[in-house]
Every structure is written in C-alpha cells, then in structure tokens.
Structure 1
Amino acid sequence: MVAGEKIETREERIPLWKLKLDPTNVRFSHLPGPLSDKELEDEIWKENETRDLMKSIQAAKGLIEPPFVMEGDGYYIIKEGNRRVVALRKLKEAVDNGEIDDFPASYFDKIPCEIIPKKIDPIRMDIMLAVWHVSGKKEWDALNKASHIFKMHRDKGLTYDIIAEYIGVSKSTIKRALLAYEECQRFLKKYPNDPVGIKRFTYFDEFFKKSYLVQKATVDRSFRDKFMEWLAAGKFRTHRDVRVLPDILEDTDATKELEKGTIEDALNTLYRKYPDRGDPLWETIASAVEVLRSMPRSEVKAILEDQAKRHLFSNLVSEVDTLKAELNRIRNGRSSKLK
C-alpha cells in the first residue's frame, strides 16, 4: 500500500541485457548529466558496497531479493536495485570470461524481477522510493535522502505533512533536510571549484542540527555566508567539527583563533581554558566535582551511617591527598632547581 493505493507487482524473469540503470537515480543527481547506462554502471561500480554485494551474490548463488523495475520501450528501467544489477553484470562478465567457474554459462542471462505497473502515478513512485530508501532497510545516505525529499516537495508539490506521514520521519527532520540541501546548493554556486563539492552537504546537515547555529543564522543572516567562507577556506577537518562550533563561538579567544587559523587552533585555545571539554579524564573530574558540590544532605549523613559508603569516601579522600602530596613534591623539586 503506497499513498493509499495498493501497488501490485508481478514477478518475471527478465534478460539481464534488457535491464537499464535508472538515469534519474537520486544517488547521482549531483553529477552533470544525463549519464549514459555505461557511465552510471561505472559510477556504481566505484562504490565498495557494490563489490561487496557482488561477493555476497556469488556466495549465495544468486539474488536473495529481486530488483523492482518498470517496463519501457523494449527494456526495463530499474527503480530499485541498481547496485544489484551492476553486481550481476560484473558476475556475468566474469563467468563469460572464464574468471569464475562455479556457475553455468547461462546462469545470469535472466534474473527474477518485480515489475511495477506502468500506470503508477509518479508521485506514488516517489513515495515508494522514499519508503524503501529514506525510512526503510535499504537506506540512502543523508545527501540522497535530502535530494529525494527536495524532489518530492519542490518538484511534486508534496507538503511536509504528507511526506512525513508516508515515509515515517518527523516534519522537523524533513524541514532540516531541505534547509541543508538548499544551503549546500547555494554554497556550490558560490564556490563551484570547492574540492569536496556536493559532499559538503554533511556539513550543512550538522549545521542545522545545532539550535545555537540556527538561531545565530536567524538573527544574523550574514552568519550563513561566514560559515560558507570557513568551509571554503578548509577550516574544518570533517563535518563532525561543526558539532563543536557552538562551543567555539561562545568563547571570544577561540573564535579569534578560528578566524586566524583552523578549528584545530580554536579547539586548542578552548581546551586550554576549559580542559574538561576536550579530555575525557578532566571531563570526569569536573563531573565528580559537580556531584560532590550538589550532594544532597541525606547522602552526606549517609557517609557517617553507612560503613560501605564511608569506606568509599575515605578512599576518595586518600587518593586526593596522595595526588596533592605528589603535586607538592613536583612543585618543590622545580623550586629547588630554580635556586
């Protein structure tokens, strides 16, 4: 059932040569097109997942799950399962060339497929793809999900509510994906020679996950351009660095270091001032201090009344005293050397 309509498919074995890769495949929407079937195959074969899938199909002696296709003029367009078909093409090629000898010569000539009716509404087809790849078990990456949602919303006119209802994600998630996708497209227009290109999407995805950054960009529109400027200048190592950007921007010294250098310089400045933010050991110590500072009166009294708790507290005090003595020895040793 898709968009309130039952979609009935029929299974049929189709010659492999009649299966054409989908030129509208959202995974390659960022590439200049249109791409030929061979160009699409080459792009898909570059992915490690395709090579792994080929090995899995070889080990399983065939497909576990058939691709979904739509009938064209003398051929079939693959709507779901492009990677599987490329893997099968490579297997057939290896069998034909004698590189694999554990399959009969005609083993991959025909493969089982689920045929989608030609009359299906394009919007329902988009929703079906979204159910498969946005919220289903064969998930696309964040960029491809956003690209497909963008297509459904802007090209097909589906509302946030409708998309959210059919693919099972929140409306806020859809809004964030669209914002990140649009900002990424704006960035690419502004910096067309950026070496990372469309994969910058992950940076914008992280940006719109942070309410501090979204609020800052809402109050000051120029902040979005500043963020793009930092991206283009290579100030971030990976998209994960965007997650710590709010901490940096809340500190004047760290922000100045980001402007002058990279996020690594900014973090070094921030962590020198606040070691508990960058080191798990000091984060634990800071948490322990806060726990002791806010310990309820009842727990303080329990130290006197409970032998096990008293013993644990005594160990804590003993370890702190030992550490203080060690620090004093180190300090005194340095003082004597200075003399």
Structure 2
Amino acid sequence: MDKYISKHIDRLMLDPNNYRFIDNKDYVHVSDDQISEKRIQDRSLSFLIGKNEDNISDLVTSFKSNGILKLDPIQVKELPDNNYLVIEGNRRTAALKYLYEQYKKSNDVGKLTESDFKSVELVLISEESPIQHLITMGLHHISGKKKWSPVNQAQLIQDLKIKHKLTEEEICNSLAINKHNLRRSLRILSLIEGYKRSDYGDQFQTNMFSVFEEVIKNVKMKAWLEWNDTEMRPTNLENEEKLFSWISKDESIEEDELGNEQQITLEPIITKSHEIRELSKFINEPKAVEQMEEARSIAFGFVFSDAVGESRLRNALETIQKEVNSAFQFSEFMNQSDYTIISKLRNKLDKLLPTNSNIELTESPASIYFNSVESHFNSVNIIQYRKLHNIQISNLSRVNIFAGGNNTGKTSLLEIFFLFTRLNSFKSVIDLERFRGRFYQDFPTKWFNKIFVDSINIQAEFNDIMCSVNIIKKETNEDIDKSHYLTSIVTDANVNGDNFSSTIHLFDNKDPEFYYEKSQFLCQATFSSPYRYDGQLLKRAHAKAVQEKYFDEIMLFINENLDKNIEKIEMISIDNESRFMVSSTNNDVAIDITKYGEGLQRVFEIALLMGYSRNGVICIDELDSAIHKNLLVKFTEFIQKLAQKFNVQVFLSTHSKECIDAFVENGYPDNELMAYAITEEDGKLVAKFLEGNKLKHLVESINIDIR
C-alpha cells in the first residue's frame, strides 16, 4: 500500500534511465546497483537541468515564488542503501537539488526554507512492478498533460510491447491511446533505429522525429521504401540509404583556387516534415530526384518534375473553369474595363492551343539540365556551322583561347559553344544574328529564310555525356494554315538520350509561329562582346552578385587595378530605365558608367557575367578589346580565379599576342589553360592546340606567336 513519507533532498536519487534521456547522445543504460553512485547522479542531474538551467528554469521560478505546492507529490520507491529512486517527478527533484546548492551558497531561493530541503514530502510506492512503473510514467507523459517528446513516448510504448510482452490491446487500455497511434509510433521508432544504425546515425536529433513521422504517414514514401508493416522496416535498403543521406549532413571534396583539395560540409536536403510531402510528389521520377541531389534542394526537384508540373496545370485549368463559370453567373455586372480584361485573357489562352496561335519570339524560362557540372565541354565535333565544316576540337580545358587572324571563324567558334548550351532554344539563333548586327528589333522573316541555307549540326561531350544539336530548314507536314507560308526551321537536341525539340514556322505576312513542349538549356551560359550590350542580362547578373556577396570582390579588383577613387557602382532606376552609376571621390555626384572608359565597362561586365555563369559557360569575344596591355596580366589572372571559384568554363577569342602573353605571364597555375590556333590549310579551317605548360614554355623561350 502506498504511503506518504518525508526525506532529505539528498536521499532522493534521480532515475538515470528516465525516458527523457534516451535520445541524449551521452545516455547509457544504468543497472540498479549503480543508481546511487555520485557520477551517475551528477550526469542525470546535468541531463535534467540542461545548459544554463534551461530545462528547469520554469520550475525554479515557480519554487522561488510559490514554495513547494503539495498538489502532485513526487513518487519514489525504496532502494537497498536507504536512498529513494524517483519514479515520477524527476524534473522537480532536479530543480530542488539545484536550489539546495544555491541555498548552501547563501544565494536567493525565494520562499524556500531549509526545512523544504530537509523534509521533502513523497509518496512511497510499494511493490511496484517494472510494468507498473512504465505505465505510471506513460499516463503522465503520453496520455497526460506533461508530455515527453514523441521519440521518448514511442520508446516507452516499444518497451512495453517488446521487453515486457504486453499486447497492443493491453498497452492501449493501460495508456488510454488507440491502436492507430500505437502502431504508427512503433513504425516511426523502427525507422529511426534504422537511421541510428546507418553511417549518419550520430546526427540524429529529437526534432527530426517529425520528418520520420511524415515518411511513415506518406503512402508514396512507404511504397518507395517498400515498407513491410509486419516486420516494421523498409525492404528496399538502397532507397532507405538514399533517404537517410537526404536528411543528413554530408561531406564532399572540392578544389580551392590553388587546386588544393578541401573538405566541405553539405547541408541536409530535407530538414522539415513538409519537405517530405513535397518530395513524395516526384519521388518516382529519377530525373527530378537526380536534379534534387545535384543541387541539394527540393526546389530543383520540383522544377524538373513532370508530375508536379502536370498537377499544377490541372489545378490551374480547374480553377480557370470554375472561375469562368462564376463570371457567367454575374455577367450582368460587366462593364467596358471587364471586356478589356477578358480580351487579354483570351489572347493568353489562345497561346496555350497547339495550332493556329501566333507566338512571339519569346520563350518561357528554360529549365537547366545540368545545375551541377564537373567536367564541362571535353570536346566538340562541328559538322556544320557557317563556314566551319567537319572540325573536331578536343582537349578542352577550364580556359580556352581561340587565336587567329581576321575572318578565321573565332567568333563562330564562340557562338557554337553558346548555341549548344541553349539546346532547343531557336531564339538563341535569332539573338546571335541580332548580335552580329544583321537586324535589331523586328524579326525579318523573308531575309532570314533567304540567309538560313545550311543546317547547323554540332556534337559535343559535356559533363562526360554525349550531346547533339541539329537545326534544319524544311517544309512542315503539320496541319497549319499555309497562307503566305515560307518554311519551317526545326531544332532537335539530345542529351544522354533525352530529346528536346522546337519548331518555328515562317510566313511573309505575319509573325512566326513558335512551338515547343519545353524550353531546355544544357547549363547556364553567357556571351560577352565589345559590340553588343544586354542591359537586362547585366541587371540580373548584378542582382546575383549582390545577393551572393561576390560584388565586393569585383569592386576590390577595380579599385586595385583600374581606379582607386571609385567608391561604389550601383544600379539606379532613372526614368524607368536601370543604369549603373559610379560614385567616386573625384566627383560630387554619381555619374553613368558609360561616361568612363570602355576598359572599366568591359572589366565590369565580364566580371559580373563570370559569377552569373556559375556551373556553366562564358564566351568572351575579343577579350583584349579596350583593355590596356598593362591591365591584361592582372585581368586574365582574375578571370582564371573567378572561373575556378564559380566553376565556369571560359571560351575567348583574340587576335592579340599580348592577350596570350598575359595568360602565360600572370603567374596563375596553367594546368587548366588551353590555346588553339585557328588557321587555314588546303582551303579548310583547322584548330591546333597548345596546352598550359607547353604553351608557356614556347611563349617564354622562343616568343612564339600562335596566331
């Protein structure tokens, strides 16, 4: 029979096997004969008090303000050494022990007196079995108001079932819980135990419970894991390991600017339960999962998920249908402005239809095939592009210089790499013609039909995968209105077996019609030329540089090598037009960057585009244009550093020997430098290459001019 007793606080032993401790990395099970040992009690007290007394601060405040309230006595059982093990009330006991130490140091303990510590009122539990002990705790901390963390609750339920052989019905009746919650707790705990046994097990924290819970609740995730409810474990161990890696930190080896390997820590892809729900929407799409893994971001999986895209389209169409029906019901309230809105909506809806829709030469934002790139372009086989025929260029490196005289095809080579990264984007072909000054705004369909004679056929190895782009002009067999029809141009791209295509129909009296299922880019890419200016691109590049905090690095280079008086360069909107304004100690007001020399503008543009081209490609036409030869050495070194930092492959053209010399003389490691001499032999253009060390030796020893 239970009875009330009073004992000194020092006679109360904290329970070292308290379920609050089981998820603590320092927890180990303690046998009964060790419970009263000082080291065991000190550790238990430390667990309960927490850092800076965080775990008991509420109780300390309450005891100081109110004294010990006799509403819920501490429950104990007698130990052989005249001590008493706390069964229920360990946290309160820890708070009293902490305050007793404060009292002995003459610190403030509020309303508590010495007698409160010397005579703590207790309930002595007599002849309680281990099962009764667990049930008592369960009633307080699973069913009651003072709930433990979910993982602690699940552990107690599992102990009742596994260690003490209670049936599910007995546990449910004893703890006042239902079978559904009981089974779910056991499944979650089983998955957690699997995680703890894995290579990532030391990363487990209590707040991860909700992630595991969402996995068990999610039908698609359980199916993907091939979960066995009877054995309470996944049977697809490969997928289990993938899941564990996604919710954990990982390590990777990367090279720094000097080529030295360094270990970096990758943050978990998934940290919240709702991200498991998002993952389940594309878990069975290998391409989307691969993109998520490469970018270590759920968002990238969404972008590449056909299922998510289709679902959102269906939802959008359902919403449109529902809202249109609502509009019909209240159509008597419509006025002229409403008709204008409907007309605009109709034009947009028309563009969703596969035929009879005039589509402007603009594309929706393209998806990036490779968000993470390891090896970039390794080689390219130019079967046909402008005057370049059957040219193979291999041994491509991080920085690639194309040198040669005028009209040897240097710019065409840069265009090839840029165009290839655009895959099925025919707009890029149009842009390249515009950049060459053939036209500016309006697209001259008759002229383009006349000059686009030869097809474009390019093959390349990118990121260790074979790819191809083929653009041909042919008459379409599609059922379209062929009034004033001229021709069609079809773009077909293939990346590792994935096909991407687009078609543009040209007419002599109306806008082209442009069709594609999905606009796809191979990787990020930019093109810089002294003869073209893309204000919108630079605006985006500037925003990214500021956001990702490398703009200061660009400014530092400008200060140290071009103009130390420049204080800042910022983008300012003037009359709805964004302009780069330069503040300098030499001027009272900021002035437009175009008022400065072309050298500053060129350096500023290229540096911005280097960062914007992260994990991609940048093509720089006539790098040395407007840049003084004294600056070239420093600037080429800066380009190589940025290329390494942002994992960018650089293709540049020059007909200046000083530019080639600058790369050789800048002191930057040349193991990722390649130069190609573009020459004509027997009426055919060929590209001969010299790699880093050999190039450096020849330039330094015999002053070779590879042009």
Alignment TM-score, normalising by the size of structure 2: 0.39
Distance in 2 (alpha carbons) for counterparts of 1:38 and 1:253 = 53
Q: Partner of 1:144 in structure 2?
A: 152
- Aligned counterpart for 1:69 among listed residues 65, 76, 79: 76
Most deviating of 191-200 and 14-23: 191-200
- Please say if 1:32 is aligned against 2:28: yes
Which residue in 2 is equivalent to 1:280? none
| Separation (CA, whole Å) in 1 of partners of 2:224 and 2:170 | 30
Offset from partner CA, 1:103-143 (integer Å, 9 cap, x none): 364143122222222x1232222222111111211100011
- Equivalenced residues, count: 314
Q: Deviations over 1:173-204 (max 9, x none)?
A: 22222222222222222226633467654432
In 2, the alpha carbon distance for the partners of 1:14 and 1:62 equals: 14
What do residues 227-250 of structure 1 show as CA deviations (whole Å, max 9, x unaligned)? 123334353342423332202315
Q: 1-side partners of 2:337 and 2:153: how far apart?
A: 51
Equivalent residue in structure 1 for 2:183, among 175, 182, 186: 175
Q: 1:56-99, CA deviations, whole angstroms, 9 ceiling, x for partnerless residues?
A: 22222223532222222212111111111111111222222122
Q: Deviations over 1:263-298 (max 9, x none)?
A: x2x324415879x99xxxxx9x9978634524797x
Distance 1:59 1:221, change over 3 A: same
Distance 1:190 1:259, change over 3 A: same
Q: What is the identity percentage for the equivalent residue pairs of Structure 1 and Structure 2?
A: 19
Cα separation, 2, equivalents of 1:116 and 1:324: 76
Counterpart pick for 2:244 among 212, 221, 228: 228
User: Could you say which residue in structure 2 is the equivalent of 1:42?
Assistant: 46
CA, structure 1 residues 71+258, in 2 after alignment: closer, same or farther (shift >3 Å)?
same
Q: Secondary structure at the match of 1:113?
A: strand
Distance 2:65 2:336 in 1: 58
Q: Distance in 1 between matches of 2:246 and 2:73?
A: 45
Contact 1:132-1:139 at 8 Å conserved across structures = yes
Q: Which position in structure 1 is the counterpart of 2:417?
A: none
Q: 1 CA distance for matches of 2:344 and 2:134?
A: 64
Give the structure 2 partner of residue 116 of structure 1. 125
Query: What is the CA distance between 1:46 and its match in structure 2?
Result: 0.7
Equivalent of residue 222 in structure 2, options 191, 214, 217: 214
2:272 & 2:128 partners in 1: Cα distance?
39
Shift of 1:321: 5.7
Post-superposition shift, 1:18? 1.2
Counterpart in the other structure of 2:525: none
Which amino acid in 1 is paired with 2:105?
A: N
State the secondary structure of the residue aligned to 2:226.
helix
Q: Kindly indicate which of the two structures has a greater share of residues assigned to strand.
A: 2
Q: Which 5+ residue runs of structure 1 have no aligned equivalent?
A: 1-7, 278-282, 305-309, 332-337
1:99 and 2:138 are equivalent in the alignment: no
- Determine which structure has the larger helix proportion and give its number: 1
Is the 2:6–2:120 contact (alpha carbons within 8 Å) kept by the matching residues of 1? yes
- Alignment deviations for residues 128-167 of structure 1 (CA, whole Å, 9 cap, x no partner): 2111111211100011011111111110011222212222
CA contact (8 A) 2:49 2:56 kept: yes
> Residues 59, 121 of structure 1: CA spacing in aligned structure 2 closer, same or farther, 3 A cutoff?
same
What is the TM-score of this pair, normalised by structure 1? Answer: 0.76
Distance 1:290 1:168 in 2: 44
- Give the structure 2 partner of residue 5 of structure 1: none
Residue 201 to residue 267, structure 1, CA distance change in 2 (3 Å): same
Structure-to-structure mapping, 1:115-264, within 5 angstroms: 115-117=124-126, 119-191=127-199, 194-196=202-204, 200-218=208-226, 221-222=236-237, 223-232=239-248, 233=250, 234-240=267-273, 241-262=275-296, 264=297
CA RMSD of aligned residues (A): 4.1
For 1:252 and 1:59, the matched residues in 2 are separated by 60
CA contact (8 A) 1:133 1:145 kept: yes
